[in-house]
Amino acid sequence: MALLPILCYPDPKLHTVAKPVTRFDEALKTKIADMFETMYEAKGIGLAATQVDFHERLIVLDVSETKDQPLVVINPTIVSASSQHIVGEEGCLSVPGIYDEVERAQTVEIAYLDEQGQSKRLVAHDLLSICIQHEMDHLMGRVFVEYLSPLKRNRIKTKMIKAQREAARS
């Protein structure tokens, strides 16, 4: 088990488009275990492989209060999305300290593979739906701040660069 470094916005690597997972081997199991360890340690409810500089379509999630409902989602596709939308306050482990409202489909149905490579379907509502859409965006190289106004996004970018410069000096 290992903690993986999380890429921080505006790292250009966060805009990499992930490729499908093709090998369901021991290396993948290790990556999944390391991603869960990293996500739980960072108090996140989800983590996309992109955020740990691994560019395959792999997500780990756990939106439960009790942190005992791990979910592995590989090669996800949206089967359907509700026309009903919801606005939720989002944060991101790659944009620490920034929270803002994003509108998403309230319900999504996804098709995906589990860690054994078995086909699955899942209908997700509310927070799980939001989290799945947030993580699938990461796999497409998209970070939630890209939904905010250019003014807000530029302020966030400047703040992140400054924070990273100060962290590197200390």
Would you name the residues annotated as active-site residues?
Answer: 135
Q: Which of residues 1-40 bind ligand GNR (CB under 6 A)?
A: none
Dist CA 165 CA 26 (whole Å): 37
CA angle 52, 54, 59 (to 5 degrees): 75
Say how many residues make up the chain. Answer: 170
**11-46: burial string, b at 16+ Cβ within 10 Å, e else:** beebebebeebeeeeeebeebbebbbbbbbeeebbb
Decide whether 75 or 104 has the Cβ nearer to ligand GNR.
104
Q: How distant is the alpha carbon of residue 31 from its chain centre? A: 15
Token code pair at residue 62 = 């756990």
SS3 22: coil
Q: Which of 7, 131, 132, 160 binds ligand GNR (CB under 6 A)?
A: 131
CB of 63 to ligand GNR, least distance (A): 9
134 binding ligand GNR? (CB under 6 A) = yes
Helix (H) or strand (E) holding 104: strand 100-105
Q: Which of 16, 129, 135, 156 binds ligand GNR (CB under 6 A)?
A: 135
Decide whether 25 or 103 has the Cβ nearer to ligand GNR.
103
Q: Which of residues 91-130 bind Ni ion (CB under 5 A)?
A: 92
Dist CA 127 CA 158 (whole Å): 29
How do 46-48 and 85-90 pair as beta strands? unpaired
Q: Mask 51-90, x = binds Ni ion (CB under 5 A)? A: ----------------------------------------
Decide whether 75 or 94 has the Cβ nearer to ligand GNR.
94
160 binding ligand GNR? (CB under 6 A) = no
Decide whether 11 or 117 has the Cβ nearer to ligand GNR.
11
**Which region among 9-17, 26-34, 75-83, 132-140 touches ligand GNR (by CB under 6 A)?**
132-140
Interacting residues with Ni ion (CB under 5 A): 92
